[in-house]
């Protein structure tokens, strides 16, 4: 059988800036963390993946690549083999997690050493760095099952650290907070991917871990995510109740930035309930709170990585779209795109799709189609929320301008993208 080039892997490597040598080194290192034995890949191995001569990596290499990329092997273009009795057994992720954690944190002492290892804040810092990687993957891709799975696995890894040695109360609380952070990221990836059942399961575990940590910031994140989840599910009363829990935490009184986020998300919930006046008031209060927030405060990465004036405009775009106030929605959409930071790739795609709809509903058909075509191909075909928005856009375009040259252009565009 002729080899079929793996275009998905090649595209991902180009996007991330990996050479074959660099990716081989990265996978070898990850395999070493997972199994205790460094991988044996070189640049020719990666070229074999890209050319299709090797249709699927071995299980250890596959698991390492999924952890690095935040994507599944299938999403990276590999063809998973059906296991026979002569083939290698599949990698058990939890076994890998335990092995990786022990290897990473055991130092020179072997696993059977009589004296338990002391787990400290340096170990917590290593875990937190991996949380930063998850946040970065989410802002690039968003909603991907691979990110959800990777975040859930890292939550388990943080919990394994509780069992490999002794630790102070502060360290244990920090490990629980890290595990809760990873779970909340898994929850968010599931929400963004419209997998609400999975999101609810992650939420329950995240809430338990957050209580064990005693960390108010991660409690805020989880309950605020819950509010967003219920809003997307069309349950505004539960959304408001969940977001009220987040807004009722003491840190919203101490730090106006948290207060601002709570208010902005509550404005979107008011829109889902159809309360136009409450939407306007809450967004005004959110901006006032943001103006009071000092830049010198130490805040968690998950907050500073996304929440700013552009995010308020993004939520306003969503809210006024729900209310059918398309002109106001369009104005917020333009402001959001002008203020988005470069790493907010997922947010740019969502905002662009919403802006196109706002223009279309005002009869600006040519501008709307041009805007919609500006959504990246990866997001249009691969992000569940963006794909759904563009499908709705296409349906409304056919209703508003049936048979027009713009509708024909959009139809041809979607065929090329395979949306």
From 214, 247, 265, the end of a domain falls on: 214
Does a structural domain hold residue 356?
yes
357-403 per-position pLDDT tens digit: 999 999 999 999 999 999 988 888 878 889 999 999 999 999 999 98
Phi-psi region of 111 (alpha: psi -120 to 50; beta: other; left: phi over 0): alpha
What average pLDDT does the segment 35-50 reach?
A: 87
More confident residue, 85 or 244: 244
235-259 per-position pLDDT tens digit: 999 999 999 999 999 999 999 999 9
Q: Which two tokens stand for residue 37?
A: 């034995």
Neighbours of 99 (CB within 10 A): 18
> What pLDDT shows up at residue 206?
95
pTM (two decimals): 0.71
- Stated as kind and residue range, the H or E segment containing 165 is strand 165-166
Contacts of 356 (CB under 8 A, 6+ apart): 368, 369, 371, 372, 375, 393
> What pLDDT shows up at residue 383?
82
Over 70: is that where the pLDDT of 90 sits?
Answer: no
CA distance 305 to 216: 18
For 176, 177, 178, 209, 362, the CA distances from 214, given in Å and listed in that order, are 9, 8, 12, 9, 48
**Residue 153 C-beta-side C-alpha neighbours within 13 Å:** 25
Q: Residue 108 — pLDDT band, cuts 50, 70, 90? A: very low
Does a structural domain hold residue 252?
no
Statement to judge: residues 152 and 69 lie in one domain: no
From 75, 100, 127, the end of a domain falls on: 75
Does a structural domain hold residue 220?
no
Does a structural domain hold residue 237?
no
Statement to judge: residues 417 and 322 lie in one domain: yes
> What pLDDT shows up at residue 112?
42
* Identity of the highest mean pLDDT range in 64-73, 90-99, 162-171, 308-317: 308-317
> What pLDDT shows up at residue 59?
79
Q: Which two tokens stand for residue 365?
A: 């058909």
CA distance 388 to 381: 10
More confident residue, 107 or 291: 291
Please answer whether residues 415 and 375 qualify as being in contact, where contact means their C-beta atoms are separated by less than 8 angstroms: no
3-state DSSP helix/strand/coil percent for the chain, to nearest 5?
70, 0, 25
Q: Which two tokens stand for residue 249?
A: 């935490």
List the Cα angle 101/106/108 in 5-degree steps: 145
Q: What is the CA radius of gyration of the chain?
A: 23
Summary mean pLDDT of the chain: 86
Number of folded domains that form the chain: 3
From 184, 214, 244, the end of a domain falls on: 214
Does a structural domain hold residue 161?
yes
Does a structural domain hold residue 358?
yes
Does a structural domain hold residue 330?
yes
> What pLDDT shows up at residue 139?
75
Please answer whether residues 64 and 100 qualify as being in contact, where contact means their C-beta atoms are separated by less than 8 angstroms: no
The percentage of the chain sitting over the pLDDT mark of 90, rounded to a whole number, equals 54
More confident residue, 137 or 102: 137
Paired residues of 118 in beta bridges: 166
Statement to judge: residues 320 and 419 lie in one domain: yes
Contacts of 151 (CB under 8 A, 6+ apart): 134, 182, 183, 185, 186, 189
> What pLDDT shows up at residue 296?
73
> What pLDDT shows up at residue 70?
64
CA distance 156 to 101: 10
* Identity of the highest mean pLDDT range in 35-39, 225-229, 341-345: 225-229
CA distance 69 to 152: 15
Statement to judge: residues 331 and 410 lie in one domain: yes
Closest residue by Cα to residue 311 from 247, 274, 261:
261
What average pLDDT does the segment 137-165 reach?
A: 82
The angle that helices 276-292 and 309-322 make with each other, rounded to 10 degrees, is 180
> What pLDDT shows up at residue 397?
96
> What pLDDT shows up at residue 80?
66
State the residue range of the domain holding 345. Answer: 308-419
> What pLDDT shows up at residue 38?
78
> What pLDDT shows up at residue 97?
47
CATH, residue 314: 1.25.40
269-304 per-position pLDDT tens digit: 999 999 999 999 999 999 999 999 987 788 998 898
Statement to judge: residues 319 and 410 lie in one domain: yes
> What pLDDT shows up at residue 91?
46
Closest residue by Cα to residue 5 from 81, 80, 78:
78
Does a structural domain hold residue 6?
yes
Over 60: is that where the pLDDT of 94 sits?
Answer: no
For 66, 155, 306, the CA distances from 129, given in Å and listed in that order, are 17, 13, 17
């Amino acid at each position: 059988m002729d080899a079929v080039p793996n275009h998905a892997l090649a595209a991902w490597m180009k996007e991330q800036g990996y050479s074959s040598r660099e990716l081989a080194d990265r996978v070898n290192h990850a395999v070493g963390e997972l199994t205790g034995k460094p991988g044996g890949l070189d640049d020719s191995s990666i070229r074999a993946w890209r050319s299709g001569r090797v249709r699927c990596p071995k299980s250890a290499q596959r698991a390492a690549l999924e952890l690095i990329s935040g994507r599944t092997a299938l999403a990276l273009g590999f063809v998973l083999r059906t296991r026979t009795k002569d083939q290698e057994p599949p990698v058990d992720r939890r076994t890998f997690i335990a092995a990786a954690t022990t290897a990473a944190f055991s130092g020179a002492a072997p696993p059977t050493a009589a004296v338990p290892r002391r787990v400290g804040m340096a170990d917590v810092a290593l875990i937190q760095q991996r949380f930063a990687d998850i946040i970065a993957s989410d802002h690039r891709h968003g909603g991907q099952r691979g990110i959800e799975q990777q975040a859930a696995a890292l939550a388990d890894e943080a919990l394994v650290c509780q069992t490999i040695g002794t630790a102070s109360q502060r360290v244990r609380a920090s490990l629980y907070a890290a595990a809760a952070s990873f779970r909340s990221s898994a929850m968010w990836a599931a929400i963004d991917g419209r997998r609400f059942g999975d999101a609810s399961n992650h939420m329950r575990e995240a809430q338990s871990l957050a209580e064990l940590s005693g960390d108010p910031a991660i409690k805020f994140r989880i309950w605020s995510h819950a509010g967003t989840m219920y809003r997307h599910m069309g349950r505004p009363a539960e959304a408001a109740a969940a977001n009220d829990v987040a807004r009722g935490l003491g840190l919203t009184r101490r730090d106006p930035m948290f207060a601002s986020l709570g208010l902005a998300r509550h404005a979107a919930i008011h829109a889902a309930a159809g309360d136009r006046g409450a939407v306007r008031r809450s967004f005004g209060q959110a901006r006032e709170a943001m103006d009071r927030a000092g830049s010198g405060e130490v805040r968690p990465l998950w907050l500073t990585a996304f929440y700013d004036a552009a995010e308020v405009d993004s939520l306003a775009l969503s809210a006024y779209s729900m209310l059918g106030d398309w002109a106001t929605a369009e104005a917020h959409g333009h402001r959001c795109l002008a203020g988005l930071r470069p790493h907010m790739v997922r947010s740019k795609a969502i905002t662009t799709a919403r802006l196109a709809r706002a223009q279309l509903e005002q009869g600006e058909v040519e501008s709307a189609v041009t805007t919609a075509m500006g959504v990246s191909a990866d997001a249009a075909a691969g992000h569940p929320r963006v794909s759904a928005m563009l499908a709705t856009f296409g349906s409304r375009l056919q209703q508003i301008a049936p048979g027009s040259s713009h509708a024909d252009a959009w139809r041809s565009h979607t065929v090329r993208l395979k949306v």
